[in-house]
Amino acid sequence: MKIEQIIVGPLESNCFIVFDEIKHEALIVDPGADPDKILRFIEANKLNVNYIVCTHAHFDHIGAVAAIKEKTKANIVVHKDELEIYAGVKDQGALWGFTIQQPPQPDKLVEEGDVVRVGELEFTVFHTPGHSPGGICLYGAGVLISGDSIFAGSVGRTDFFGGSIDALKESFKRIMSLPVDTKILPGHGSQTTVGTEKEMNFFVHEL
């Protein structure tokens, strides 16, 4: 398994390209902006993109979904509880002063426990609401791609539409229950581990 991190957009969101280097199959997680930058990597590595996975539907994480979908024809994956936010992303971006192309309807709605497969790779969907109602993480091969549920030393905001501090606490507890050497790839900022966050994350004291 290979994972490429590409920082995109003015809010510096992390887009992850996860790929099976033998079969050259890939999934793209949270293409928030800069589709040309993402597609250059895809083309340079001759990857066939099977899925575009949205950990949640805030504009800084799905702003390039439409362009990536048009080019790759990959299936768009969203949690079923995120559809309302997904449908309003164009207006959401406008409130922040950004022009966002409304992405097409998702091809696959996922729930807790669903599995996303790419080549020989397999990731389980964790439903981790709190930052948004349909927020998800992808967990597999000792890696958690966490969206905005958790960051190095912090957690996602809960004051946006559909946010819930109580739901975030439960999601955070679940993440902290994973093996300590689990690598966390968050939606913004640097990578971390479960063990590090148990010691350093301020939110531990909120539980």
Say what the pTM is.
0.96
Please check the confidence at residue 181 and state whether its pLDDT lies above 80.
Answer: yes
Q: What percent of the chain has pLDDT over 70?
A: 100
Q: DSSP of 23-54, one letter per residue?
A: TTEEEEE---S-HHHHHHHHHHTT-EEEEEE-
At 190-199, the pLDDT tens digits run: 999 999 999 9
Q: Are residues 136 and 167 in contact, defined by beta-carbon separation less than 8 angstroms?
A: no
How far is the C-alpha of 71 from the C-alpha of 39, rounded, in Å? 8
Contact partners, residue 7, CB within 8 Å, separation at least 6: 13, 14, 15
pLDDT of residue 95: 87
CATH of the domain at 53: 3.60.15.10
Q: Is the pLDDT of residue 207 over 80?
A: no
Total structural domains in the chain? 1
55 closest CA partner among 23, 21, 22, 32: 32
Q: Which pairing describes strands 136-140 and 121-127: parallel, antiparallel, or unpaired?
A: antiparallel
Q: What is the pLDDT confidence band of residue 175, given thresholds at 50, 70 and 90?
A: very high
Q: What is the pLDDT of residues 151-161, one digit of tens each?
A: 999 999 999 99
| CA distance between the termini of the chain | 34
The number of residues making up the chain comes to 207
How far CA 13 is from CA of 8, 17, 127, 199, in Å, comes to 5, 13, 20, 25
DSSP letters spanning 80-140: GGGHHHHHTHHHHHHHTT---PPPPPPSEEE-TT-EEEETTEEEEEEE--SSSTT-EEEEE
Domain interval for residue 21: 2-206
